[in-house]
Structure 1
Amino acid sequence: MANRPYPVITVNEKAARSLRAGHPWVYGAETSGPDRPCQNGDLVDVVSQKGRWLGTGLYNNHSKILVRLLSRNTNDRFDQDFWRRRLRYALDYRKTVMGPDYACCRLIFGEADQFPGLTVDRFGDILVTEVLSLGMEVRKDLLYPLLVDLLREDGVTVRAIYERSDAPLRDKEGLPKVTGFYPLPGLATDLDGHLLLEENGIRYDVDYIHGQKTGFFLDQKYNRRAAAALAPGRKVLDCFTHTGAFALNCAQAGAAQVTAVDISQEAVALTRRNAALNGLEGKVEARQADVFDLLTQLAQAGGHPYDYIILDPPAFTKSGATVKNAFRGYKEINYKAMKLLPRGGYLATCSCSHFMTPALFCQMLREAAADAAVSLRQIADRRQAPDHPILWGVPETEYLKFYLFQVI
């Protein structure tokens, strides 16, 4: 600790155990300090009550997360070379695990890449970013040009960077919401926000300005492929379709019939456009409906109009306080789907909320199956694509649960 230039935050034993186990967050209620004045966004050292150094992180007293750890290496100096190395690690990882899918993938996944609160998605030559921490916000002017330079070294010329930093979490960091093209010299700032993306051989019209999150959910890439493998010859109901991705993958794979449902008329229109882009408009019916109501109506009508149902709902909970309500919501749609399917039918079901833990999600599925008087024969237990890596010790990075079952 001698001669280190950073203010010192002392944490209690609970926080120290969490940090030693690999978690990067320090909550204000678990600390004392800093030992001298510092500004929000500054680097601080974190030590145990016995004075043991635990790491260096980014400070923000606006947030309940007082410090987000950046490094556990006392030799790190946090200069431009440090950030360049860390970005290079992230890019090289994606090139390794994504192969040809590197063209459209998540380049930076926050804490899992040791960029706390930063997301960067690549759609060809467009980067879409989201910043949810003050520490990354004050460093983005350094990080974005470095990222563009490193991609250029890989033969990728970035055309534009669009910021989608408009999530409510910005309020908790004391940050205003920001959207718009990032004005980096040489990059475009006047695009219409639409691009054509290809994934699993399917083309999509992506709106990265007005679409949800960064415009397209890249994390289900390989789960869509797995779901499509069961589709040939089947009558498929794709619930909460959003961009129509699961429906289109199943139609292309040879499904006999595909119905894509979403409560949003905009999502239905987008699904129809994407179906037309791929010559699948005759194979995919997109309709507007509340999935909960639709599953009830189909059950009341009797029979088994579908032998394959896909449930890809939005996050029913974004906090620990609403997990019980979310559990009931997930159970209701899964129960209804299980009742609607014939014996031997297939179910794809998932949750994208990290508060709905794998154990809790499995408990919900068991209860739904028991209430529906069916058994579940597991085909696959999957998570998000590896460009959204799960960092052990940081449960928040394990958020997507995806299961394939035969219902018997």
Structure 2
Amino acid sequence: MNRPDRSSGRPRSHARSRGSAPPSRPRIEVTEGGEVAVVNRKGAQRLRRGHPWVFRSDVERRPALPAGVVRVEESNGAPLGWALWSPQSEISLRRLEADPTRPIDDAWWHDTLRAAIARRVPLAEEANAYRLVHGEGDGLPSLVVDRYGDSLVVQLLSAGVDAHTGLIVQHLRELTGCTGILARNDPAAREREGLPREVKLLYGDVPRVVEVLEHGVRYLAAPWDGQKTGAFLDQRENRVLIGSMARGRALDCFAYHGSFALHLAKQADHVCAVDVSAPALARVHEHAARNGLTNIEPVEGDAFDVLRAWHREGRQFDTIVVDPPAFAKTRGALDGAMRGYKDINLQAMKLLAPGGVLFTASCSFHLSRGLFFDMLSEAVADSGRRFALRAITGQPLDHPELINVPETGYLKGALLEAMP
């Protein structure tokens, strides 16, 4: 669930097709007979500990069925509930339901989606864009649903859940009253499932651009070709947090379309929004005008180089945000990512005025919270300054992180104050 690289700021091209509405009530078959997935003791223990995944190596008997839903049993015949079945995936099973007597039928999908959507009701008071379903975090493995106004954007990231597209779309329509549903099925994870990567309209109409209202700030999301499903929704509360503390001269590193910068500009005297992409900075300028803000200065350049140059010039900032793309996309890239995170945070610390505040974050799943704070500790030591920890942040309400399913969590942040 890591966020993609935002360094280029350039939208990718996708094949697109506009589809018609699905059947009014698709009929989904469930396995009631002898065809089951039998897992070994290791797989069974993993399920009993609350993790929904069973890997290919732990499936002793594979069902002779296409992707969909299957019953799961241990090798001794003990029932383990129901799971999504992906024949080609390394993650062969993703458990949906532990109760073997409750089939994954129409009512199950309706109730589970309804519960996930109900959890987000408080968010609608301050924003019109947020996540409705966060995969495993909501008991709906490999399914992502984001809301942008009256439109929904879904990602069906496994063959098992993809087989239920029609039913999912039907219930989302009923439960949300949306006017359009777009499938952003372009992540690389779908290739590992034997599925095509595509962007496809599933229902109604979804505009190319949607205005997002977030705690009084307006910006544009691009559901068809923007990053992730159109915008970065996971930092919403963190943008509000640092925006409420902003003052003086502020700096937004890796600004992309300026979501942090917009919140900073509400209280800061001046905001420098740094990004390597000229098209991204053009959107920053557009967003500033949309909010009636004249104190945001887009700065094109590599954040590492820009911050070093400004340190040599003796510049200082009272408020700084460091929200880089995921430097560690794989475990093998972790060492290099640690160096990158430390470097950019060290440069930011050098630029922070006494009494100033720095919000820094990492969206790399492979960089654990422990490693994140180890990195910050090393950067503080190298800066030769004192920093107080003011807050530790994680994922918002609409991106639930389950304690026993670490894959549901990736975002971590820290608010630091430069002590005089």
The corresponding residue for 1:366 is 377
Which of 134, 141, 146 is the aligned partner of 1:116?
Answer: 141
SS in 2 for 1:326: helix
1:181 counterpart = 2:201: yes
1:127 counterpart = 2:161: no
Length, aligned pairs only = 389
Deviation of 1:217 after TM superposition, in Å, equals 1.1
Deviation of 1:150 after TM superposition, in Å, equals 1.4
The corresponding residue for 1:395 is 406
Which of 76, 81, 85 is the aligned partner of 2:107?
Answer: 81
SS in 1 for 2:109: helix
Distance across 1 between alignment mates of 2:224 and 2:70: 35
Pairing 1:2-13 to 2, within 5 Å after superposition? 4-5=32-33, 7-13=35-41
SS in 2 for 1:209: coil
SS in 2 for 1:46: strand
The corresponding residue for 1:314 is 325
Alpha carbons 1:22, 1:392 under 8 Å: kept: no
Q: Which has the higher contact order (CA 8 A, sep 6+)?
A: 2
Counterpart AA for 1:341 = L
SS in 2 for 1:198: strand
Deviation of 1:333 after TM superposition, in Å, equals 0.6
SS in 1 for 2:116: helix
* Structure 1 pair 375–5 and aligned structure 2 pair: CA distance change class (3 A): farther
Which of 92, 100, 105 is the aligned partner of 2:130?
Answer: 105
Alpha carbons 1:58, 1:68 under 8 Å: kept: yes
The corresponding residue for 2:85 is 59
SS in 2 for 1:344: strand
SS in 2 for 1:196: strand
SS in 1 for 2:353: coil
Distance across 2 between alignment mates of 1:268 and 1:102: 23
1:323 counterpart = 2:334: yes
Alpha carbons 1:295, 1:337 under 8 Å: kept: yes
Q: CA-to-partner distance for each residue in 1:342-375, whole Å, 9 max, x for gaps?
A: 3322111001122111111111111111121222
Q: CA-to-partner distance for each residue in 1:170-228, whole Å, 9 max, x for gaps?
A: 1111100120321x3xx22xx54112111010111222112111111111111111101
SS in 2 for 1:218: coil
Distance across 2 between alignment mates of 1:365 and 1:49: 47
Alpha carbons 1:108, 1:119 under 8 Å: kept: yes
Aligned-residue CA RMSD (Å): 1.7
Q: CA-to-partner distance for each residue in 1:357-401, whole Å, 9 max, x for gaps?
A: 111111111111112122221111111210111122111112111
Deviation of 1:17 after TM superposition, in Å, equals 2.7
The corresponding residue for 2:253 is 239
Alpha carbons 1:354, 1:397 under 8 Å: kept: no
1:251 counterpart = 2:268: no
1:288 counterpart = 2:300: yes
Q: CA-to-partner distance for each residue in 1:212-252, whole Å, 9 max, x for gaps?
A: 111111111111111012113x2111001112011110111
Distance across 1 between alignment mates of 2:40 and 2:242: 46
Counterpart AA for 1:175 = L
Deviation of 1:8 after TM superposition, in Å, equals 3.0
1:30 counterpart = 2:43: no
Alpha carbons 1:6, 1:43 under 8 Å: kept: no
Distance across 2 between alignment mates of 1:326 and 1:177: 28
The corresponding residue for 1:206 is 221
Distance across 2 between alignment mates of 1:4 and 1:366: 55
SS in 2 for 1:307: strand
Alpha carbons 2:182, 2:200 under 8 Å: kept: yes
Unpaired stretches in structure 1, ≥5 consecutive residues: 153-157
Q: CA-to-partner distance for each residue in 1:99-150, whole Å, 9 max, x for gaps?
A: 5146321111111112211111111101111111111111011111111111
SS in 2 for 1:5: coil
Counterpart AA for 1:283 = N
Distance across 2 between alignment mates of 1:240 and 1:117: 28
* Structure 1 pair 74–320 and aligned structure 2 pair: CA distance change class (3 A): same
Deviation of 1:11 after TM superposition, in Å, equals 2.9
Distance across 1 between alignment mates of 2:71 and 2:106: 19
Alpha carbons 1:335, 1:368 under 8 Å: kept: yes
Distance across 2 between alignment mates of 1:341 and 1:55: 54
Which of 39, 44, 47 is the aligned partner of 1:16?
Answer: 44
Distance across 1 between alignment mates of 2:365 and 2:219: 27
Distance across 2 between alignment mates of 1:60 and 1:251: 47
Alpha carbons 2:80, 2:100 under 8 Å: kept: no
TM-score of the superposition, structure 1-length normalised? 0.91
